[in-house]
Each structure stands twice: as structure tokens, then as C-alpha cells.
Chains A and B, each alone.
Chain A
Amino acid sequence: MTEFLQATINGFATGAIYALLALGFVIIYKSSEVLSFAQSGLMILGAFWVVYFSTVLELNFWVALLLGIILSALIGVVIERSMLRPMVGKPAFSVAILTIGLNIALTVIGFDLIGVEIRSLGDPWGIQVVQMGDLVVSRKDLATIVSSVIVVGSLLAFFRYTRFGLAMRATAIDQETALAQGIPVARVFAVAWAIAAGLATIAGVFLGAGTGVSAAIGVRAIRALPAAVIGGLDSIPGAIVGGLIIGLAESYTVTYQSEYLAFLGQNFSTAVAYVVMFLVLLVRPYGIFGTREVVRV
């Protein structure tokens, strides 16, 4: 039982990171109908800013984190204004390809900035642990879970209780009607990219906390895409649930697969996100919480 609970906590911590990244996918998709593949690039770049503010400029970690999020959000806005805005009305496929190119560009820039070394974040969690009965939980994992709950809760409150959040929801339902009602749709697009970039930064910080940030963390972020697809690309609760499903699936796999399903071989946990996505899409092609499209034929 202890082993199961330990795996569950680890899974929640990993899943929280995937959920943050998946939320970025979903918020952009819901607001602008753009399938963005640039989340991992935004994450690498965002994590670098925190490293820079924290260890190069030697600012307090929390100040560095805040500045990193703000700077990333601004970069998100600039990207939306300069690259995505001219693509409004263009085929979704073209825009998706553009975001792949954008991700490559951001990743290369991130690689250059981070360099080949492992860069310390100066985070306060390190590799220390907290004993909770029989469970040993790393402070980083606890911080990841708690921070993600706060961030996601704040985001949901923002969508539900603020005028701009309402505007974003309206835009997500129908862009043209929202525009006709005087909602600044262009600003909604920009804010969506800003939020996605900020979330990616937080995810990058938690991925690199303790053992440091390297350019390789970007590869891990790609697994957030199955999380978004599983939950449903247009569902914010779906992104959260999808992230947690992937995190838990990976954690249970690394804990139990070698014992019970050894024939699947080593390192199967790195593939399990895609297996789960495949299984979910077989049953629910639009994801667990995704909107089912009705097409007249």
C-alpha cells in the first residue's frame, strides 16, 4: 500500500507539470483555434529566464520566478502579435506547422542560452524530503503539487469571475459573435499566449528544480501533448485530468511494470503516455472532456 501511495504522489507531481503544459495547449486552442506545438520551446526559454534572474543576476528565487513568468508572458504576446496574428483565417494545418517551426526556433535559442551545462535554478526545495508516516515525499514534489493547485485554481477563478475571463470564454465559444459583441478578440488571443507561456515557465521550473535545468528538459514537455489530447483539446478540466492521467500512468508503470509486465521491456514508461492516448482516442475520439463535433454529411 505504501508503495502504491508513494507512486500516486509521484504521479500527481509529474502529472501536475504535464497539466500546466497541457493547459497552455488548451487555452491557446480554445481561444484562437490554433494547435500550438510551441509549448516545449516556451518552457525551455522560460526556465532559462528564471535561471538567469536567479543565478546570474542573483535575485531572490521568488522574484526570479515572477520576473521569468512576466518576461515569458511578454514573449508569448510578441509571438502571437508577430507570427500568429498574420495567420488568422489561414488553414489550421498551416498554422500548426508554423508553431512547429516556432518551437524549433525557440528550442534552438533556449539551447544557446542554457548552453551544454546543467544550470542551477537556485530553488529552495533542493533534494530534501518530508517524512509523512511511511511515505517519503520530496519537497520539490510537494511544492509542485501545491503550486499547481494554486495556479490552476487561480486560472479557473480568472476565467469564471473576471470580465476578461468571461471575454475569453465567449471568444472560445464563438469568435465572430464575441467580436460582434465588442469583445477585443485580438487581445484575447494575445493573453492566451501570455498565459500559456507563463504556465510553461512554471512547468519548466518544476522540471528543473533540485537537479538543475538543461536543454534536455524540452523532450519531456512533448509528453504534455498526449495529456491535452486525452482530456480533450478544448477542455480546461480535460487538460488537468489528462495531465494527471499521464503522470499517474507513468508513475505506476515505473513502479509496477518491471514486476508484472516485464515482457514490455525497459523504459516503457517513456511510451506509456502515447499508449494511453491511443486507448482513450479509440473510445473517445475527441478526448474525455472534448466537445464532440457534429458534421452534416
Chain B
Amino acid sequence: MRRKWVKVLALFSVLALVAAACSQEDDAETTTAAPAETTTTAAAAETTAAPSETTEAATETTEPGVAFDVGVTAEPCPNGNADNGCIYLGVISDLSDGPFAPLAIPAVAGTQEFWNTVNANGGVAGFDVAITSDNTVDAHYNPSEHVEGYLQIEPNILMLAQSLGTPQTQAALPQYIEDNMVAVPATWWSGWAFPENDGGGLVLETGVNYCFEAMNDVDFVVGQLGAEISYAVVGFPGDYGGDYAAGVALGAEAYGLGDPTFQLTQVPLSAGGDVSEAVSQILATGPNVVFITTGPLEMAQTMGGVFGAGGQAVFVGTHPTWNPGLVQQEALLPALEAAYFQSGFMPGWFGESAGHDAARAAADSIGQDPNEWFLNGWASQYPVKALIEAAVGNGDLTRAGVVASLQQLTDVSFDGMLPNQSYVGDPNVSAPRMSIINQVDAAGPGGTKTATGMFVGPTAEGHDFSAPCFVP
């Protein structure tokens, strides 16, 4: 009798699996089919195989004479302005258990709210912009998941509003190039400034890169503590840690600081890493300053480990080392307030500009707590908006048309959130070099206040930026 039930259950299980598989197929069809009701999706399906040919074959034109194909529809966005067409953007980020999830989630919210605000104000050049959940991928800070996720959403989108992680973006770059996919990186590698590294300008980075940021950090520290300091460098593997470490080395060389007491590649805790080696080395070698390029958790645990063992050091971290949630760590807060400085590419929640005001208002409207990553996600979309306007102005909103319009991004405004930026020309001239240094202020919005305002230190100002600071 029992065996009979087992057989029945097994049969049901098989049927359930088959049903689930069919259901997934249906879903997949639906996802692709949504844009497919317009000719756009038909193009999208073929685009992967032969982008240049299909783009031409399936290009549509709106009444004002704007050509478009993949990721753009003449029909309005879901809940969009009825008279506007729709541009679909994608997001590939770290949204659950990767090391940057606490930062990426508010950043994506900022990106989303930027476009919601644009749409609420009538859209951009006759189009609304939509980032749907179907076109949002959680890649867990994993390059292979990043590429897989990209391949899934590529047929639906015009551009990527966020591509998080340097190794991840590099892994997908050949595909971006093949697909004419412009992407906004949530990564500040110095190599993105050079056409040979970003597919001829496909990667639209915003603000100062890690390398210049590090030079400014060294300038700041030397200004505060003098040039007789010892220092250590702790950073994630790859370009994030490597680029920043290269900038620190350039700054240290400029001031004759000598070699670091140690330099450690810190494996993210989510990947099985452990901060005990960093803590041990800091305690053993006693640097005055630790330059750190990790996630917030690694930074917090390293500081906690050092101060919890009676050690002392000033910690200077890149902007991804800070998470406003850290002010809730009562035990660590005194150490953070006394000895942690965070650099960044724009003023945080305390910033005073039209862009800051608009972003804060949007954040209020959705109940978002003060978080500078919301601002980062918001600010990162100004170049995309400028690019859409340029492409529509040229009458060509196809991916190829968008790529052709990149050359017009010579003076992108961020509504005062950070200095205007050019994406064209000699990187030695156009690459941003200004950064800001903040310190922890539990009472302040976003948990920080500025220590310096936006500035360029002498090392960054004098650096000949003719090549990336770090090449993997």
C-alpha cells in the first residue's frame, strides 16, 4: 500500500516538474513577448545573433521621426505618460547577499526614483524611462552570474542603468561591445576613462575614479598628520582594491612615505574571507593610517578587530566602505567617529545643490532613509538622460544611434551634485579629479558630515593620466 502511495507521489512530482517547466517557458515567452507586440522584440530576439543586421531590419520610427529598435517602444511604459514612448533600461547589481548589497539596494532605488521623477515631469524627449523588475538582475557580485543575467535581459533593454562591479563589468564588456550596449558602471576603475578599456566609451562612469580618490586621500592624511606617517593598504582583489592601492602608491611616492607596513588583499567575507589577517597585520606592524578598499562589513570588522584588541589607527576608506547602517553599531561608533574617514566622488546627504534637493525630495516620497548611495544611484543617471536627449535630437534612438551620440557628451550637468563631466577627449584632460572626504557623524543625515568639501589635491592635480593606474 505504502509503495503504491510512493508511486502516486512520484508521478505527481514528475507532473508538477513538467508543469513548472512549461510554466517557466510561458513566463519566458511572456517576458519577451511584452515588447514583442511591438516589432521591437522581434528584433531583439534576432539581435543577439546578428546585431547590426537585425537592428537595421527592425528599426521603427515614431511620428517626430526618431528611429528606434531594441529596448524602445512607441507604446507608453507601464503606468507611464500616455503620449510618450517607452525606453527600457536594465540593472545588474548586487541585491541580496553579496558584499555590496547594503549599498547597491539604495543605489538602485536612487536610479529608479531618478527616472520616476523624470517621467513625472513629462519624460525625456518624448519618452518615459522604465526599469522593470524583469530587467533587474541580482548577480550576487559574481561575474559569471552578471554575464548570464545580462544575456537574459539584453533583448529587452536599450541601455544598462547600472552594471555593478569592475570584474563583473569587465567580464560582460565583450558582450556589451557586441550589442552596442552603453552601461553605467557602479565601479570607479581608472581604466574606464580609456576607450581601449570600455569598448570605445560604452561605460559611462560618474565622478572621480578610485586612483585619483586615493591620491586625494593621501594628500588629506598628510595634511592632517604630516609626512612622517606609516601606512598600510587593505583592499579587495581586482581593480577595486588594485586601482585604489595604485593611487595610494602614487600619493605615497609624492610625499616620500616609503612602502606600506603591509599590503593585503582582503577576500570578501561573503566569499569565505576573514579579517583576522588584516587585524593581525595592523596590530603587528602598527601603521598610523590604514587605507582600506573593501565592503562596509569588512571595514567594520577590521576596525572592530583592531580597536577591540587595543590597537589604534586612522582608517581612510573609499566610498563603498561606508554604510549608514554602521551608525547603529553602538560598540563601534566611538571608533568610527574618532578614526574613520570616507572619501567619495560627491557630497553626501548634507550636499547643497538642486540635484541634492530633488533627490532628497524623491527619497522622502518613498520613505527612503538618508543614504548617500541613493544619491549615487540618482546622480549616475544624468549622463544617461543627456545621452537619450542627444540620440533623440539626432533622430536615432537605436543602440547604434545611442553609441554614435556618445561623442556629444562633452559637458554633462549633474544639477550641481558634482562638477560637470565630459565623456569625450583626452582622459588626462576630461577625467574628474575632485573628491570629498567625510567623517562619521551619527547625528548627521546619512551618518556623515564633510571634512573637506570637494577638492583636488596636488598629487592628483599633477598626475599625468595617460594610462590606467592599475591594469589587471
Instruction: Indicate the member of B262, B309, B325 with the most A CB atoms within 10 Å.
Output: B309
List chain A residues, Cβ under 8 A from B358. none
The stretch that binds A, out of B163-171, B329-337, B452-460, is: B329-337
Cβ-neighbour of A269 out of B97, B277, B309 (below 8 A): B277
B129 to chain A minimum Cβ distance, whole angstroms, is 26
Cβ-neighbour of A219 out of B269, B326, B328 (below 8 A): B269
List chain B residues, Cβ under 8 A from A222. 272
Do A210 and B269 have beta carbons less than 8 Å apart?
A: no
Taking CB as reference atom, which chain A residue is nearest B306? Answer: A127
Cβ-neighbour of A117 out of B265, B271, B301, B323 (below 8 A): B323
Given A118-B300, A210-B304, A211-B304: A219 touches B277 (CB 8 Å cut-off): no
Whole-angstrom CA separation of A269 from B265 in the bound complex: 13
Contact residues of A between 1 and 41, Cβ < 8 Å to B: 3, 7, 10, 14
Do A255 and B284 have beta carbons less than 8 Å apart?
A: yes
Judge if B270 is at the interface, Cβ distance under 8 Å: yes
Instruction: Indicate the member of B277, B296, B308 with the most A CB atoms within 10 Å.
Output: B308
Instruction: Indicate the member of A137, A214, A269 with the most B CB atoms within 10 Å.
Output: A214
Do A211 and B276 have beta carbons less than 8 Å apart?
A: no
Whole-angstrom CA separation of A222 from B271 in the bound complex: 12
Do A211 and B101 have beta carbons less than 8 Å apart?
A: no
Do B272 and A270 have beta carbons less than 8 Å apart?
A: yes
B284 to chain A minimum Cβ distance, whole angstroms, is 7
Judge if B264 is at the interface, Cβ distance under 8 Å: yes
Instruction: Indicate the member of A117, A216, A254 with the most B CB atoms within 10 Å.
Output: A216
Do B267 and A210 have beta carbons less than 8 Å apart?
A: no
Do A269 and B101 have beta carbons less than 8 Å apart?
A: no
Do A131 and B310 have beta carbons less than 8 Å apart?
A: yes
Chain B binding surface, main DSSP class: helix
Do B297 and A214 have beta carbons less than 8 Å apart?
A: yes
Do A212 and B308 have beta carbons less than 8 Å apart?
A: no
Do A136 and B309 have beta carbons less than 8 Å apart?
A: yes
Judge if B105 is at the interface, Cβ distance under 8 Å: yes
Contact residues of B between 292 and 345, Cβ < 8 Å to A: 296-297, 300-301, 303-305, 307-310, 323, 325-326, 328-332, 335
Judge if B59 is at the interface, Cβ distance under 8 Å: no
Contact residues of A between 150 and 206, Cβ < 8 Å to B: none
Do A267 and B309 have beta carbons less than 8 Å apart?
A: no
Do B331 and A211 have beta carbons less than 8 Å apart?
A: yes
Do B308 and A129 have beta carbons less than 8 Å apart?
A: yes
Cβ-neighbour of A267 out of B273, B328, B331 (below 8 A): B273
Judge if B51 is at the interface, Cβ distance under 8 Å: no
Given A126-B331, A211-B300, A254-B276: A118 touches B265 (CB 8 Å cut-off): no
Contact residues of B between 223 and 265, Cβ < 8 Å to A: 262, 264-265
Do B277 and A116 have beta carbons less than 8 Å apart?
A: no
Give the number of chain B interface residues (Cβ < 8 Å): 44
Whole-angstrom CA separation of A87 from B149 in the bound complex: 38
List chain A residues, Cβ under 8 A from B325. 117-118
Judge if A251 is at the interface, Cβ distance under 8 Å: yes
* A248-266 near B? 1/0 per residue, CB < 8 Å: 0011001100100000001
Cβ-neighbour of B265 out of A14, A216, A266 (below 8 A): A266
Do B309 and A118 have beta carbons less than 8 Å apart?
A: no
Given A111-B96, A118-B329: A127 touches B277 (CB 8 Å cut-off): no
Taking CB as reference atom, which chain A residue is nearest B305? Answer: A211
* A112-130 near B? 1/0 per residue, CB < 8 Å: 0000111010110111110
Whole-angstrom CA separation of A30 from B353 in the bound complex: 66
Do B308 and A269 have beta carbons less than 8 Å apart?
A: no
Judge if A72 is at the interface, Cβ distance under 8 Å: no
B292 to chain A minimum Cβ distance, whole angstroms, is 14
Taking CB as reference atom, which chain A residue is nearest B335? Answer: A127
Do A212 and B329 have beta carbons less than 8 Å apart?
A: yes
Whole-angstrom CA separation of A215 from B276 in the bound complex: 18
B334 to chain A minimum Cβ distance, whole angstroms, is 9
Do B308 and A127 have beta carbons less than 8 Å apart?
A: yes
* A97-118 near B? 1/0 per residue, CB < 8 Å: 0000000000000010000111
Cβ-neighbour of B281 out of A137, A210, A258 (below 8 A): A258
List chain A residues, Cβ under 8 A from B277. 254, 258, 266-267, 269
List chain B residues, Cβ under 8 A from A216. 97, 99, 268-270, 297
Instruction: Indicate the member of B262, B276, B303, B332 with the most A CB atoms within 10 Å.
Output: B276
Taking CB as reference atom, which chain B residue is nearest A250? Answer: B276
B153 to chain A minimum Cβ distance, whole angstroms, is 22
List chain A residues, Cβ under 8 A from B330. 120, 122, 126
Judge if A138 is at the interface, Cβ distance under 8 Å: yes
Do B276 and A258 have beta carbons less than 8 Å apart?
A: no
Judge if A292 is at the interface, Cβ distance under 8 Å: no
List chain A residues, Cβ under 8 A from B280. 7, 254-255
A214 to chain B minimum Cβ distance, whole angstroms, is 5
Whole-angstrom CA separation of A289 from B307 in the bound complex: 38
Instruction: Indicate the member of A126, A210, A211, A220 with the most B CB atoms within 10 Å.
Output: A211
Judge if B274 is at the interface, Cβ distance under 8 Å: yes
The 6 closest A-B pairs by CB, nearest first: A126-B331, A136-B310, A211-B304, A127-B308, A116-B101, A216-B269
Task: Give 9 new A-B contacts, CB below 8 A, not counting A116-B96, A269-B277.
Answer: A117-B102, A118-B296, A127-B304, A215-B270, A216-B99, A222-B272, A250-B276, A269-B274, A270-B273
Q: List 7 A-B contacts (CB under 8 A).
A: A118-B323, A122-B330, A127-B332, A210-B331, A215-B97, A216-B297, A270-B274
